[in-house]
Structure 1
Amino acid sequence: MLSFSFYLFQPLEQIEDIFRLVAQLGAKQLFTSLHLSKGQELRERKKLDHIGQFASRYGIGVVADATPAVIARLSADADITTVLGRWGIVGLRLDAGFSMKEAASLSNQMSVVLNASTVTERECKELASYQADESNVEAWHNFYPRPETGLGRETMLAQNQLLRRCGIETIGAFIPGDAKKRSPLYEGLPTLEAHRNADPVYAYIELTETYGVNKVFVGDLAVSDGVLRRMDWVRSGVIPIRYRPIVGAGWLSLVETVHTNRRDAARDVIRSVESRCSIAWPQEALQPLPPVPRRAGRITIDNERYGRYAGELQMTLVDLPPDDRVNVIGEVIEEDMPLLRYIRGGRRFCLIRW
């Protein structure tokens, strides 16, 4: 699941736009933070009343990061779950200050989200000992506004393995946006430091497919329309690959479709099943071109000199030498090269001219 975040410093109009977008994407939760400055409680409670109306209107629940002190200031003497429910808050991501006993008690009333980046096995066992409702317990990682402070891949992998050993199956994490960064540093809000300047689509795929993350949230304020369009492909099970043509030809539009890597995946190349069985190449496309080196990420078509292989479209995974039976027609853009490793046997992908 891909979803987004909003923050109480944003105008209500922007916040509603985010609710509307998330509803269109089919997600059911948004993330926000309830870390407030003292003296602003009344103003923020009024804003939260409006947010509760958005949550009801669009069918989206809010999970809020909060400390016990903030919850006490916001809810005053009222029942916490009643107040939070009025604001559309269906879960709390528990920040420092909550005990495992309190977390267990809350889990019997609403969704409770542990800090996946810091929780220990001892704490998970303690939570269970207080008879927490396991179906209401999740764990989401932090995001890290300051450069050089995000998690390393080994840390995330180890923490996720710990959580799964403890029976926590739903894990969340954050990726940066590419359109509008959040203040005050404007340096992205990733969980993994390696994702700070990464393409959001790649960051999403790596979190879900390598680390088994179930819920991915954009920590920043916005992503570009291009990211949203490519995420449409990802949600349908297709990995979008952007490429630049090397040859100029009208028939290149035939390349820009959905392909499937052969189930018996090759070591050196990705082989399109459809290119030889369902694409009607014009004769021009199969005429030999001067051979050039096939560096990793090149898109090729076997020409007529390859006999029965003529018309097979491939993407190279490693550097290969020139071959006068193979035409090089395009190249994957550098930002999408890491995605090639996820196009395993039987996986669908599409080529998007960039």
Structure 2
Amino acid sequence: MKGISIYLDQELTVEDRNYLLKMRNVDFSGVFTTIETTVPSPVLVKRLHELGKWCQDLGLKLNCEVSKKALLRIDIDPLNATDLASLGASGLRLDSGFNTQEIAALAKDFELYLNASMLRPEDLSGLSSYQANFANLRASFNYYPRPATGLDPEWFKHQAAWLKENHLPVMAFVAGEGRLAGPFKAGRPTLERDRGRNPLAALLELAKLGADEIFVADGQLDESSVQQFEFYKEHGGFLLHLEHAMPELTQKIWHQRPDLASDSVRLAEGRSQQWDLTGPIDERKRGAVTLDQAQMLEYQGELDIMKQTWPAASGIGVINQIKARDLPLLDLVKPNMAIGFCDK
């Protein structure tokens, strides 16, 4: 499942609702929020109920981060099922204050997300001893607003594997772009390497490491990223942004060949085109779009995107360049995958 985040420290707007609708239409099905905020209690409750109604109307699952302290502040009994149900959330991400027996009791009625980084075998044994309903238990990694504090990918992979071995689905976060949350405005990823990274690439690689539910932790994605998720939904491939306009590339959908090269994305349709393009014989940097000229004989018309940097080669022109934000996607291209180009 893919999800976005909507925070309650600001008034909800028509723009927020339209964003939910837009992201639902590109296969996002979850919304994350938190009541860990200093917003006055009556205002917070009103906004939470409004967001819950939006999610219900749009068929989205609302996941709300709670703690005992935050629940008491809005007059919710942390251990009362009826009170908790009034939040309108499909899942509760437990922040702090709940002991093992209380978690087991709540798991009878609610889908609960426990701290994935802190769970240990003895915690699971304790939950079993209290006959917790493990079908309602999940594990959620944190997001890390402060630069240099995000998790190591290998440690994440190891911990996620252990959690899944114990039948706990894993939730994690990637950073957003347009409306960065928190005091540092540096994104809120689970993995440090994903800070400032292309969201689609970060999401796909986080899934490969074992995450089942992945949320964009910041308030919004840029329109360019939304377009990439839309292309991925429709074509199962990547929309790549060019440094400069080139209708010859942007007006059709291309495909990676069935055979996967180590250092370049080779586009199957290249040699069948009637090209009227040339480019300088320059160093072929990572992300360079190259076209083989007539002197390359049977390779004339070969259209490639470089995954690695190679020196200039006679007969191979550099006709464009993929923007830096999209370079991580090149390493995720699979055989026969659709490739689109965009210059906006």
Q: TM-score, normalised by structure 2?
A: 0.87
Query: Equivalents in 1 of 2:333, 2:193: separation in Å?
Result: 21
Q: Which residue of 2 aligns with 1:34?
A: 35
Give the alignment partner of residue 274 of structure 2, picking from 264, 281, 296: 281
Q: Which residue of 2 aligns with 1:225?
A: 223
Q: Structure 1 residues 224 and 325 mapped into 2: Cα distance closer, same or farther (>3 Å)?
A: same
Q: Is the 8 A contact 2:61 2:90 kept in 1?
A: yes
Where in structure 2 are the equivalents of 1:190-229 lying within 5 Å? 190-208=189-207, 210-229=208-227
Q: Which residue of 1 aligns with 2:314?
A: 324
1:260 aligns with 2:258: no
1:321 Cα shift? 3.4
Counterpart residue type for residue 231 of structure 2: W
Q: Is the 8 A contact 2:141 2:190 kept in 1?
A: yes
Q: Which residue of 2 aligns with 1:62?
A: 62
Query: Equivalents in 2 of 1:261, 1:128: separation in Å?
Result: 49
Query: Equivalents in 1 of 2:280, 2:24: separation in Å?
Result: 51
1:76 Cα shift? 4.3
1:28 Cα shift? 2.8
Instruction: Output one character per residue of 1:107-143: Cα deviation in whole Å (capped at 9) or x when no partner.
Output: 2212111112322233234334433333322222111
Q: How many residues align?
A: 341
Alignment root-mean-square deviation, CA = 2.7
Q: Structure 1 residues 228 and 203 mapped into 2: Cα distance closer, same or farther (>3 Å)?
A: same
Counterpart residue type for residue 291 of structure 2: I
Instruction: Output one character per residue of 1:47-104: Cα deviation in whole Å (capped at 9) or x when no partner.
Output: 3333333233222231111113333454546984434434321111111222233223
Q: Which residue of 1 aligns with 2:188?
A: 189
Q: Is the 8 A contact 1:52 1:86 kept in 2?
A: no
Q: Structure 1 residues 95 and 316 mapped into 2: Cα distance closer, same or farther (>3 Å)?
A: same
Q: Which residue of 2 aligns with 1:177?
A: 176
Q: Is the 8 A contact 2:288 2:305 kept in 1?
A: yes
Q: Which residue of 1 aligns with 2:143?
A: 143
Q: Which residue of 1 aligns with 2:159?
A: 159
Q: Structure 1 residues 128 and 78 mapped into 2: Cα distance closer, same or farther (>3 Å)?
A: closer
1:310 aligns with 2:310: no
Query: Equivalents in 1 of 2:262, 2:78: separation in Å?
Result: 62
1:313 Cα shift? 0.9
Query: Equivalents in 2 of 1:41, 1:218: separation in Å?
Result: 26
Q: Is the 8 A contact 2:76 2:84 kept in 1?
A: no
Q: Which residue of 2 aligns with 1:335?
A: 325
Counterpart residue type for residue 55 of structure 1: C
Counterpart residue type for residue 172 of structure 2: A
Query: Equivalents in 2 of 1:260, 1:185: separation in Å?
Result: 40
1:37 Cα shift? 4.8
Query: Equivalents in 2 of 1:268, 1:193: separation in Å?
Result: 26
1:348 Cα shift? 2.9
Q: Is the 8 A contact 2:26 2:233 kept in 1?
A: no
1:111 aligns with 2:111: yes
Give the alignment partner of residue 294 of structure 1, picking from 284, 296, 314: 284
1:270 aligns with 2:255: no
Q: Structure 1 residues 23 and 269 mapped into 2: Cα distance closer, same or farther (>3 Å)?
A: closer
% same residue:
27
Q: Structure 1 residues 30 and 180 mapped into 2: Cα distance closer, same or farther (>3 Å)?
A: same
1:273 Cα shift? 1.6
1:317 Cα shift? 2.4
Q: Which residue of 2 aligns with 1:235?
A: 233
Counterpart residue type for residue 322 of structure 1: A
Q: TM-score, normalised by structure 1?
A: 0.85
Q: Is the 8 A contact 2:279 2:317 kept in 1?
A: yes
Counterpart residue type for residue 196 of structure 1: R
Query: Equivalents in 2 of 1:17, 1:81: separation in Å?
Result: 32
Q: Is the 8 A contact 1:238 1:348 kept in 2?
A: yes
1:147 Cα shift? 2.1
